[in-house]
A and B are shown apart, each in its own frame.
Chain A
């Protein structure tokens, strides 16, 4: 199934070369979890601070249980804030 994986701010260094606009489109196995995706791209767990799937927050405790579906967009940020 196809999903989009997006890494922002300093995490964009973990995206493969040639990625554009902080995202890559991927073909992944059915049932892959959010946590597996984060591990696959070697994003340190403590750096994956804000994780959204389709814009909705996924708490750290649910990342292993949360299975992705066709068309999902995963977005990850390190600790950030603004004003």
Chain B
């Protein structure tokens, strides 16, 4: 078995921690992590619950491969009802926290209720207790991690925490672990803040036991690692250039959302690209990039560790930001840069550091700044309201708004609402570049048609990691498809969505899928877990998880009308590049998608579909 068969249930209101057996019947149907935690959540909460009320629950979960020697087996997920969207939220993070949970003997931790005062959870193998966190409230994620390690006198304790953004319930606050990895999207950090839960500190020394067939597992994981090493993308491209290498690619194909999606190409894309991070700066003769980095058990190592220019205006009087730290990854660089027209690489890294330090999703933050800048340029928002000049392209405005939002000061509180609430408040909901309230990531769906469908139907709102058809439409993985056509995209999106649900639920990184297919994951799961883990079973598990999430959203009040894109993407043609003149044709793809999914024209899973999937 790849599971520890043990859940920790934490009643924050009562201050108690108790052990429960993992429901092994559910584990056979939902695998682990995203799938299994979602099964628990949908079974335990009212879908219409206020996400920031004590009645919402939050689950931190590992998968059967988390903590094992499977490559990238360090992932954990946070599952809850998301405040940004009101939909199911499932945010996935790497680093070392997930593996530590497994080593301490737990598969998942379920948090219920709200603590009467700030607390943190300390787990040391079988022992779990809630501790006072009054002294941590108001501290950043970085300070919290340092303080807890100091007071526990244990430098090896692994910590996930919220910063000021989570405390202030910024709608896109995230949960940061290991200083710069994050369960980033949908506002899971705001849920944690609403529960008065500052941090979770784990120490596990048990290792992972109970692999079904250890010899077979060694063989399967070694074979799969060889596939990653031999593949030019996962073996060379990602370690060397990281995800940031996409900046120039996506700009070249005319799908780099720029200035709140007004444009699809950014004239300064090269200045904020992976190539730019490798170039020596004129100011100090050093490149921003220091090294790459790997999460637990990862043989790809795509992470970026950078050092900001000490003389840059954002940090020249603030030495605490001078050390090497996480970033920039592609999504953050895009959202903080192209999305608001800022081409200053150092300013982007500064805003990125603030997001890591105080726990904010840089995608939603950057995209919300982009919306605010458009409203400013239209004269809807004024300098007096914002407290500063905020035209597109202003690195100073980006840096200041990052500080204000992270600390909950002035107009930062408005930016903390997210783009949908901000634009609606300003009378221009059409300018919010969101689906189901969540901001788009770094691909414009006018130039990559399948991504429009993937965004519109993503169960957690606009997201690239629910069905990354960019792999096929742009990069040719596993096969090249034309990004400008809609034909075949319904099947493609469904295939990516279902397969990704399995990768996520196994406890591994979805980036392995640049080299692996489910056929590479299957032998690893079959060797680790008892039960039938055939390809047919995995395909069914992925589809079951997707439909379960959909059912939750439908019960929460979402309908087919919410499977939509902002009018800008379906009615304002791309102005430049190879997709010039194009809009996204969601209307052509969505009905076919519902059909392929076995849903009614209203986007509701048909009884026979639910019956086939055992839902």
Contacts and interface: CB of A to CB of B under 8 A. Distances in A.
A83 B237 contact: no
B241 A79 contact: no
Interface residues of A, number: 24
Contacts of B482: 57
Interface string B246-269: 101100111000000000000000
**Residue in A50, A56, A78, A82 whose Cβ sees the most chain B Cβ within 10 Å:** A82
A10 to B, nearest CB: 6
A78 B236 contact: yes
Nearest to B265: A55
A54 B578 contact: yes
Given A55-B577, A55-B578, A81 B237 contact: yes
Contacts of A21: 270
Contacts of B245: 8-9, 77, 80-82
A75 B251 CA distance: 11
A50 to B, nearest CB: 7
Nearest to B483: A57
B24 interface: no
Contacts of A50: 249, 475-476
B376 interface: no
Given A80-B241, A81-B475, A52 B252 contact: yes
Given A22-B270, A50-B476, A9 B238 contact: no
A83 B236 contact: no
Interface string A44-58: 001001101011110
A8 B253 CA distance: 14
A70 B31 CA distance: 56
B236 A81 contact: no
Nearest to B578: A55
A79 B464 contact: no
B240 A10 contact: yes
B243 interface: yes
Given A9-B241, A50-B249, A82 B578 contact: no
Contacts of B156: none
Contacts of A83: 243, 329-331, 464-465, 468, 510-511
Contacts of B575: none
Given A9-B274, A79-B237, A83-B510, A22 B578 contact: no
B49 interface: no
A8 B275 contact: yes
B115 interface: no
Given A9-B241, A50-B249, A55 B514 contact: no
Given A52-B252, A78-B237, A83-B464, A57 B480 contact: yes
B358 interface: no
Contacts of B275: 8-9, 12, 22
Interface residues of B, number: 41
A59 interface: yes
B396 interface: no
B578 A81 contact: no
A82 B334 CA distance: 12
Contacts of A12: 275
Contacts of A80: 233, 237-238, 241, 245-246, 249, 475
A29 to B, nearest CB: 25
B396 to A, nearest CB: 25
A54 to B, nearest CB: 6
B184 to A, nearest CB: 12
Interface in B563-588: 577-579
B249 A79 contact: no
Contacts of B578: 54-56
B232 A9 contact: no
A78 B465 CA distance: 23
Nearest to B245: A80
16 contacts: A6-B252, A49-B232, A50-B249, A50-B475, A54-B578, A55-B254, A56-B578, A80-B245, A80-B249, A80-B475, A81-B237, A81-B475, A82-B245, A83-B243, A83-B331, A83-B465
Interface of A: 6, 8-10, 12, 21-22, 46, 49-50, 52, 54-57, 59, 75, 77-83
Given A12-B275, A81-B511, A83-B243, 10 more contacts: A10-B240, A55-B253, A56-B253, A56-B578, A59-B480, A79-B236, A80-B233, A80-B241, A82-B249, A83-B468
